[in-house]
């Protein structure tokens, strides 16, 4: 299968190449695409060097699928051109996620919504993906009424410049600033820009994308998203009020059997999810399960996952795997 990776030289694009290789996706020809200034550079895939090409040359090569992680404006400009050429696009930017004509997919939840007519498919935001993978099985059993989520997000979510800022600060060196403020030994309660309602775009992504993926507009979500000086993945404290009561042992059982979830919840041995354990793994790790004793039918949980993998690259490639399994590529 001919596979284009658009944004192949970025943090997520590089992770996409790694995951494609790890999961043995049947790539017969890789077509790495990046900005004009990167054309001609080489990327490594399965022990071979591949020259970065322009988007136009990639379209001419007619890949079966083009997996994008090149930012919203690039996706708005290029995804339709790939789709018009009959190439299926899986896009990791926010450009198409809330477009009513486009599917927003987490394979464990709503891959069944995909049809051969879907030529531009949206990959959800990383902080949304890990949350819905963990809570969807509980929603099906107990029906979620309201979610209060606070996130603790890795600098890798911003990109290489942010990782460099963190490690420069750690070494006491000057360098380019990805953030308005120092991030080392600090937390920044702003991810993306503020909207008129006082929430950030990142927070409203969690509110809106959750409803679309879980196909239930009745779910109330309120979010606070925070950047922290970590690289291994995003962490989330989630408080969920259900319509119906639950049994904690049954919740553990459901999560233990949930696709894509690993239960890490043994407080007697101080075992709970942490970014240093989740780093470079594909699962969503859940722990600190406990009843919220201040109100009925309400559960607290802690969710950690590598935002570059399940939060971006792996979820996108799982969508491609599903399409391939259904002969839709
Ligand atoms: C972030 N979720 O963490 C956003 C985009 N990757 O910055």
ipTM of this predicted complex?
0.97
What's the pLDDT at 215?
98
Give the residue among 41, 84, 45, 39 at the shortest CA–CA distance from 66.
84
List of residues 6+ apart from 158 with CB closer than 8 A? 178, 179, 227
Nearest CA to ligand 1 atom 1: 157
Domain with CATH 3.30.360.10 in the chain: 127-154+187-305
Instruction: Give, using CA atoms, the residue closest to atom 4 of ligand 1.
Output: 157
Domain 127-154+187-305: CATH class, spelled out? alpha beta
Token pair for 251: 């919740």
pLDDT computed for residue 200 by the predictor? 98
CB distance 279 to 285 below 8 Å: no
Is 38 annotated as belonging to a binding site? yes
Q: How far is the CA of 158 from the centre of ligand 1 (A)?
A: 6
> Strand locations in 195-296, DSSP E?
220-227, 234-242, 261-263, 284-291
74 lines ligand 1 (CB under 6 A): no
pLDDT of residue 321: 98
What's the pTM value of the predicted model, to 2 decimals? 0.97
* Cα 266 to ligand 1 centre (Å): 29
Mean pLDDT of residues grouped by 10 in the chain (329 residues)?
96 97 97 94 96 97 98 97 98 98 98 98 98 98 98 97 98 97 98 98 98 98 98 98 98 98 98 98 98 98 98 98 97
With CA atoms as reference, report the closest residue to 274 among 288, 257, 259.
288
Domain with CATH 3.40.50.720 in the chain: 2-123+312-326
* Known catalytic membership, residue 279: no
Domain 2-123+312-326 in CATH 3.40.50.80? The answer is no
The strand ranges marked E within 46-119 are: 48-51, 65-68, 88-91, 103-104
Beta strands in 213-322 (DSSP E): 220-227, 234-242, 261-263, 284-291, 298-305
| C-alpha–C-alpha distance, residues 219 and 149, integer Å | 13
Pocket test for ligand 1, best of 71, 158, 223, 304 (most atoms within 8 A of CB): 158
> What's the confidence (pLDDT) of residue 307?
98
Strand, helix or coil for residue 3:
strand
In this structure, the number of other CB atoms found within 10 A of the CB of residue 160 comes to 14
Q: What does the alpha-carbon distance between residue 78 and residue 82 come to, in Å, rounded to a whole number?
A: 6
- Please check if 10 is assigned to a binding site: yes
Work out which ligand 1 atom sits closest to the CA atom of 12: 6
């Amino acid at each position: 299968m001919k596979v284009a990776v658009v944004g192949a030289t970025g943090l997520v694009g590089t992770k996409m190449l790694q995951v494609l290789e790890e999961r043995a996706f049947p790539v017969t020809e890789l077509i790495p695409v990046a900005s004009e200034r990167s054309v001609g550079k080489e990327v490594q895939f399965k022990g071979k060097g591949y020259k970065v090409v322009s988007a136009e040359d990639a379209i001419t090569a007619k890949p079966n699928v083009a997996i994008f992680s090149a930012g919203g404006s690039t996706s708005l400009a290029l995804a339709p051109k790939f789709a018009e050429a009959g190439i299926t696009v899986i896009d990791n930017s926010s450009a198409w996620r809330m477009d009513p004509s486009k599917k927003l997919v987490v394979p464990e939840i709503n891959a069944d919504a995909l049809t051969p007519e879907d030529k531009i498919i949206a990959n959800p935001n990383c902080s949304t993906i890990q949350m819905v993978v963990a809570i969807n099985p509980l929603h099906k059993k107990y029906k979620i009424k309201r979610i209060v989520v606070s996130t603790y997000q890795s600098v890798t979510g911003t990109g290489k410049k942010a990782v460099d800022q963190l490690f420069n600060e750690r070494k006491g060196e000057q360098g380019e600033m990805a953030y308005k403020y120092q991030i080392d030994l600090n937390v920044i309660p702003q991810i993306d820009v503020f909207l008129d309602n006082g929430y950030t775009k990142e927070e409203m992504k969690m509110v809106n994308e959750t409803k679309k993926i879980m196909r239930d507009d009745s779910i109330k979500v309120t979010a606070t998203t925070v950047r922290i000086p970590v690289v291994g993945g995003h962490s989330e404290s989630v408080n969920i009020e259900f319509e119906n009561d639950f049994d904690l042992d049954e919740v553990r059982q459901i999560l233990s059997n949930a696709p894509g979830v690993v239960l890490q919840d043994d407080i007697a041995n101080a075992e709970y999810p942490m970014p240093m354990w989740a780093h470079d793994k594909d699962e969503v790790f859940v722990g600190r399960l406990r009843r919220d004793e201040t109100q009925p039918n309400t559960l607290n949980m802690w969710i950690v996952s590598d935002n570059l993998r399940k939060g971006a690259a792996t979820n996108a490639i799982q969508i491609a795997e599903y399409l391939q399994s259904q002969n839709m590529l």
